[in-house]
Amino acid sequence: MEGMGAIFNASAMQIVQIHHYAENLHSSEVDKLYQDDAVWIISSSFIIFTMHSGFGLLESGSVSAKDEVNIMVKNVVDVVFGGLSYWSCGFGFSYGDYEPWRNPYIGFGKFFYDPTRDYDSRESINQEGWSYASFLFQLSLATTASTIVSGAVAERAKLKSYILLGCIVIIIQALPAHWVWDKEGVFYKKGVVDFAGCSAVHMVGGIIGLIATVYLKPRRNRFSEDSVHQMSSPTNALLGTFLLWWGWFGINAGSVWGITGGRWRLGARAAVATIMASIGGGATAITISFVKTKKLQVNFLINGILSSIVSITAICAVSRPWHALVIGSISSVFSIAILPVLDRLHIDDPVGIVPIHLTSSIWGMIAVGIFCEQDKYLTSATNNMSGLLYSWSFDLLLVQLLCTFTILLYSAATGFLALFLISKSPLGLRVTDYEEQIGADVIEHGLAGTNVARYVLEKPLSTRTFQTVTKAITKWKMLAKKKSRQKRMEAAKIKREAEQETFAQANGAALANGNGATPNGNGNVLHHRNNATNNTNTTNSNGAGPPKRNSVHAFNNQVAPLAVSSTVTTARNAPSTGRRAESTAIEMEGGPVPTAPAPQKAAPVEDVPTSSAAVQRQPSWESKPSSATSRK
């Protein structure tokens, strides 16, 4: 254990650890260190992954209804193709450690990353497992940067072009990650402090998103006097905010890279800083909204909470609660103050990428230079540097400003170059005016929801576009008719079953009373009707004789005066054989029945069910011979 004390040297421990700090030691105690730290960052990675659901809900709830499916698909694409890009190249550019080409600006090595290939000996088994865990955590952070851009280009970028753009954003983000977090990085050596990606993730995504939304120009009629661009679903947007809120605990607390060596303290401080910053930002946003508009605006609330959490990511592990409260509140003010500036400059930001990720990340990096406090035990957590309030030195603030300016300039230049090249390629970048008017859900995915029927087309459509829209609307109408028909059939079925049940109950009661029912020779039950003069209908023993009616007035109360062949449905109940009840029909024939000159009250009919299912009339347009054979 004497050798173990060396690995807890607080002045030399690096926070971001692609290589675990205990990799050169081998014992059962070291195995436990690896396990505890790996479980911590793997669990954090799972939480971070749920943020993609939050981004998708926030963005789909903020755009038009005709584009909400498309924006959700783009968030899926960010994980799929963004993850492929990061595995093949991004991780190597960030943390490649091929010695002949080691430099402060870009990593080299670990392309198409396979830890088992790099650590194939028994002695390096712990480092192999740690490499898998650290790769998963870094991939979760990197794909967040491309997801930020998806909100900036909402409703205007083609899906295929966006897939390519997302892969390029991952490569762009790899270099700032190397500068800030790799032990050979240019800004890491200068002492920059950024625990959870304020500069390397949010600032990169925010500035590329700003360049993209300016390059693509506003959505059609966005800044016209009769503009109707509003949130399609504020509920989804707020639900997405909650998911992002939850996911940021995974980012900030997981960015201490473990719990051993006293780092669990920093994880706890990061979690408290996250919630306190969001409290300060949310309270400030609500106050400003009520003062300014007399109402609680949903976009103010969302911007205030999310921007405050972004601003605390750089300093989260060494922040005090009141630090977080102040930093979050100031960030919320900036995020709301920038909105009228964007409108005045006609910058169309559908989801709020600029106020949430750009302005707040800039402020967050500056706040480190002011509020950063050197930890009492893990002094290396802040590279042995403190902010202006605790050291009265501008050194850390200058480093933070230099890092911020460099990443903004680099990301803006490379992002603009990527957008320009894609727009000039055969793929193109922006959808046409007609396609934007119709919506990406129809154009890109062939989907037709209930909103399709309410689309307003202001200009004549091309033949191809018209066919696409017509097919979508036709599909929607066919589905609507099918669902309506199914509902009607189900309702009729339920009604029919209820009538049959009522008839069966009434017929069973008649059999139990023994009144007005006589079994014939075949085991069928023939019901007799009593007319007004107490004359009864009779049948012969084999059921061949038709019932005869002697009362015209009583008969008129049962059947309309038409020359018809009526069918009386009765229940067949054979207790001796235990067979199921079946229906049998007894045909009644007769000529036209004269109508009574005046309505008369008929005598009550005994033991006859009153359900409409008891008598089913089937009109016959031809006279039937009244022979015994015919009646059988």
Mean pLDDT across 592-605: 43
The SS3 call for residue 144 is helix
**pLDDT recorded at residue 577:** 40
Q: Using CA atoms, how far apart are residues 250 and 43, in angstroms rounded to an integer? A: 8
Per the listing, tokens 């540097």 go with: 385
Sign of CA dihedral 344, 350, 355, 358: negative
In terms of average pLDDT, the best of 214-223, 237-246, 534-543 is 237-246
Indicate the average pLDDT of the chain: 80
For the record, the structure tokens of 86 come out as: 């990061």
Q: Which of 105-109, 213-217, 313-317, 593-597 has the lowest mean pLDDT?
A: 593-597
For residue 183, give both structure tokens. Answer: 């032990």
Tokens in use for 189? 């050596």
Q: How far apart are CA 579 and CA 632, in angstroms?
A: 23
Q: Which residue has the higher pLDDT, 453 or 240?
A: 240
SS3 585: strand
Mean pLDDT over 598-616 rounds to 41
pLDDT of 211 strictly over 60: yes
Q: Give, for 554, the enclosing helix (H) or strand (E).
A: helix 552-556
Crossing angle (nearest 10°) for helices 395-424 and 359-371: 160
Q: Residues 551-557: contacts with CB within 8 Å, 24+ apart? A: 551/602, 551/603, 552/593, 552/594, 552/596, 553/596, 553/600, 553/602, 554/529, 554/530, 554/602, 554/603, 554/605, 555/531, 555/593, 556/593, 556/595, 556/596, 556/602, 557/602, 557/605
Helix (H), strand (E) at residue 527: strand 525-527
Q: How far apart are CA 632 and CA 345, in angstroms?
A: 91
DSSP 399-456: HHHHHHHHHHHHHHHHHHHHHHHHHHSTT-SBPPHHHHHH-HHHHTT----GGGGG--
Alpha carbon dihedral 529, 534, 535, 541, in 10-degree steps, equals 50
* pLDDT, tens digit, 9 for 90 and up, residues 106-162: 999 899 999 988 887 777 888 899 999 999 999 999 999 889 999 999 999 999 999
Mean pLDDT of all residues in 322-345? 95
Assess whether pLDDT exceeds 80 at residue 598: no
Contact 258, 319 (CB under 8 A): no
Backbone angles phi, psi at 30, to 5 degrees: -65, -40
Task: Please say if the pLDDT value at position 625 is more than 80.
Answer: no
pLDDT class of 514 with cuts at 50, 70, 90: low
Report the distance separating Cα 382 and Cα 259, nearest Å: 17
Give the three-class secondary structure for 195: coil
Q: Give φ, ψ of 408 to 5 degrees.
A: -60, -45
The C-alpha atoms of residue 151 and residue 156 are separated, in whole angstroms, by 10
Give start and end residues of each alpha helix (H) in 294-394. 298-312, 321-344, 353, 359-371, 388-391
pLDDT digits (tens, 9 = 90+) for 272-318: 999 999 999 999 999 999 999 999 999 999 999 999 999 999 999 99
Task: Choose from 62-71, 221-230, 269-278, 522-531 the range with maximum mean pLDDT.
Answer: 269-278
Handedness of CA 289, 294, 295, 299 (dihedral sign): negative
Residue ranges of alpha helices (H) inside 345-358 are 353
pLDDT at 441 over 80: yes
Given this model, what pLDDT does residue 424 score? Answer: 95
- Give CA–CA dist 258/261, Å, rounded: 8
Indicate the pTM of the whole model: 0.71
Nearest to 355 by CA among 340, 372, 335: 335
Asked whether residue 220 carries a pLDDT value surpassing 80, the answer given is: yes
Give one word for 262, left, alpha or beta, with left for phi > 0 and alpha for psi -120 to 50. Answer: left
pLDDT of residue 122: 75
Per domain, the residue ranges of the chain are 31-445, 462-497
CA–CA distance, 237 with 57 (Å, rounded to integer):
6
pLDDT digits (tens, 9 = 90+) for 373-428: 988 888 888 888 899 999 999 999 999 999 999 999 999 999 999 999 999 999 99
**Using CA atoms, how far apart are residues 583 and 116, in angstroms rounded to an integer?**
75
Nearest in space to 503 (alpha carbons), one of 473, 527, 537, 486: 527
Could you tell me the CA-to-CA distances from 79 to 53, 55, 153, 200 in Å, in that order? 11, 12, 17, 18
- At 576, is the pLDDT very low, low, confident or very high (cuts 50, 70, 90)? very low
| Residue 399 phi, psi dihedral angles, 5° rounding | -65, -45
How far apart (Å, rounded) are the C-alpha atoms in residues 318 and 76?
34
Q: Nearest to residue 20, comparing CAs of 117, 93, 115? A: 115
State the angle between helix axes of 159-181 and 68-85 in degrees (0 to 180), rounded to the nearest 10: 50
> What's the pLDDT band for 527 if we cut at 50, 70, 90?
very low
Mean pLDDT of 250-255: 94
Q: Is the pLDDT of residue 591 over 60?
A: no
The sign one gets for the Cα dihedral 579, 580, 581, 586 is negative
Architecture of domain 31-445: Orthogonal Bundle (1.10)
The two structure tokens encoding residue 316: 């989260």
| Residue 84 or 587, more confident | 84
Per-residue confidence band for 12, with pLDDT thresholds at 50, 70 and 90: low
The CA radius of gyration of the chain, in Å to the nearest whole number, is 39
Structure tokens at 584: 């049998």
Weakest mean pLDDT among 9-13, 28-32, 88-92, 435-439: 9-13
Distance CA 498, CA 608 (A): 18
Helices 321-344 and 298-312, packing angle to 10 deg: 130
Q: How far is CA 406 from CA 187, 300, 345, in A?
A: 10, 30, 25
Residue with tokens 């809120």: 245
pLDDT exceeds cutoff 60 at 618: no
Can you tell me the distance from the alpha carbon of 585 to that of 220, in angstroms, rounded to the nearest whole number?
Answer: 70
pLDDT above 90: percentage of residues in the chain: 53
Q: Which two tokens stand for residue 551?
A: 């009362």
| Closest-CA residue to 313 (of 261, 258, 371, 368) | 368
Rounded mean pLDDT, 208-221: 92
Alpha carbons 273 and 309: distance in angstroms, whole number: 9
pLDDT digits (tens, 9 = 90+) for 456-487: 444 445 566 666 767 777 776 787 788 888 88
Residue 448 pLDDT level (bands cut at 50, 70, 90): low
- φ, ψ at 530 (rounded to 5°): -95, 125
Mapped onto helix, strand or coil, the DSSP state of residue 590 is coil
Assess contact for 266 and 317: CB atoms under 8 A.
yes
